[in-house]
Amino acid sequence: MARIIGSDLPNIPWQDKPDEERGVVWRYSDNPVIRRDAIPSSNSIFNSAVVPFKGRFAGVFRCDDTARHMDIHAGFSDDGFNWRIEDPVIAFEREDAEITSDYKYDPRVCWIEDRYYVTWCNGYHGPTIGMGYTTDFVRFHQMENTFLPPNRNGVMFPRKINGCYAMLSRPSDYGHTPFGDIFYSESPDLRFWGNHRHVMRTTDGWQSTKIGAGPIPIETDEGWLMIYHGVLTSCNGFVYSFGAALLDLEKPWKIIARSNPYIINPREIYELAGDVPNVTFPCAALVDKDSGKVAIYYGCADTVTGLVFGKIDEIVNWVKANKM
């Protein structure tokens, strides 16, 4: 039985699995957990990242405003269900005045050693991976962009691997990219990156157009559990579902198992209709080592934020039982 390598989180937001549920994860009964107009300026709040913070929870949230401009905001919660999101956007202190941001979206937050690192899709002559850090979710520092644009879905690993920081990302083009594999890169210092390795390519069905890492990978004794989204192109556009894979602990570009089915796909009306129909896009997961519980936050229809629950050991077993 897979065990989480991590910390206890006894106050993880949680609902038990409904009797009739047959999936390996199940939706929060009061989804969407964050509504589109939770702050005065917002058109939509989705694709957002939450972490445990001082016994409670904090996060970085993608809020598109009513001009449909994309930016990220800090937010706080006592229970992981009820969120207070700051109306002003995060004002980063920039390390170098040249590292500009035309826009910011799809943040992830990752605690490594002594601080919370934030990565996001940063508009610098195209979308690339922006990076910064905070210790308090009040002051944020912006570092160098990690890669050349265009790139999206930059996701850190929560510890150094083989002495280097490690990141997953998906090279893209400048539009609604119709391709995208997941790659792995290393850095000794979070400034210079190299040793790029190909991790996973697109295959069939729900993951046939492009794929991208979602939450920070979850370390288990059986490998890194990577929740990732996949995109299928129907005659009416993209459909975003999500599945899971197990990656080798020391060589994360080696796949131990990858799920052939999805875990979650768009089914509920708040996932099927909205600014972008048919999107379920995971960006963060809370885990409790002791109980193996996991709570995954995911964007719905690029409009609101949803929440699903599961058990890590069950997900790991499901990935192995349903691998391609």
Minimum gap (Å) between residue 254 Cβ and a copy of itself: 10
Rule CB under 8 A: is residue 192 a binding residue for a copy of itself? yes
Minimum gap (Å) between residue 67 Cβ and a copy of itself: 4
Total residues contacting a copy of itself by CB under 8 A comes to 74
Cβ distance to a copy of itself smaller for residue 88 or 205:
205
Q: Which stretch binds a copy of itself (CB under 8 A): 50-58, 86-94, 226-234, 281-289?
A: 226-234
Question: 269: number of CA atoms within 13 Å, CB side?
Answer: 1
Query: What 8-state DSSP symbol labels residue 275?
Result: S
Encode burial over 274-307: b for 16+ CB neighbours within 10 A, e otherwise: bebbbbbbbbbbbbbbeebbbbbbbbbbbbbbbb
Rule CB under 8 A: is residue 142 a binding residue for a copy of itself? no
Q: Which stretch binds a copy of itself (CB under 8 A): 27-35, 109-117, 185-193, 305-313?
A: 185-193
Cβ distance to a copy of itself smaller for residue 91 or 235:
235
Cβ distance to a copy of itself smaller for residue 52 or 230:
230
Rule CB under 8 A: is residue 250 a binding residue for a copy of itself? no
Q: Please answer whether residues 207 and 192 qualify as being in contact, where contact means their C-beta atoms are separated by less than 8 angstroms.
A: no
Rule CB under 8 A: is residue 139 a binding residue for a copy of itself? no
Cβ distance to a copy of itself smaller for residue 52 or 171:
171
- DSSP string covering 141-169, please? EE---SSPSSEEEEEE-SS-BTTBEEEEE
- Pairing status of strand 293-300 against strand 140-142: unpaired
Instruction: Tell me: cis bond preceding 150? Omega within 30 of 0 counts.
Output: yes
Q: Please answer whether residues 215 and 227 qualify as being in contact, where contact means their C-beta atoms are separated by less than 8 angstroms.
A: yes
**Binding positions for a copy of itself, 68-127, rule CB under 8 A:** 68-69, 98, 124-126
**Binding positions for a copy of itself, 258-277, rule CB under 8 A:** 260-262, 265-267, 269, 272-277
What amino acid is encoded at 160 in this protein?
K
Which pair of tokens denotes residue 80? 């992981």
Q: Which stretch binds a copy of itself (CB under 8 A): 53-61, 76-84, 183-191, 308-316?
A: 183-191
Cβ distance to a copy of itself smaller for residue 138 or 192:
192
Please report which residue ranges of 44-177 form alpha helices under DSSP H: none
Q: Minimal CA–CA distance to 44: which of 315, 307, 300?
A: 300
Using CA atoms, how far residue 280 sits from 65, 200, 307, in Å, is 20, 20, 10
Residue of the chain from 10, 196, 290, 321 that contacts a copy of itself (CB under 8 A): 196
Rule CB under 8 A: is residue 232 a binding residue for a copy of itself? yes
Minimum gap (Å) between residue 145 Cβ and a copy of itself: 6
Rule CB under 8 A: is residue 18 a binding residue for a copy of itself? no
Q: Please answer whether residues 307 and 28 qualify as being in contact, where contact means their C-beta atoms are separated by less than 8 angstroms.
A: yes
Binding mask 143-182 for a copy of itself (x = CB under 8 A): -xxxxxxxx-----------------x-x-xx-x--x-x-
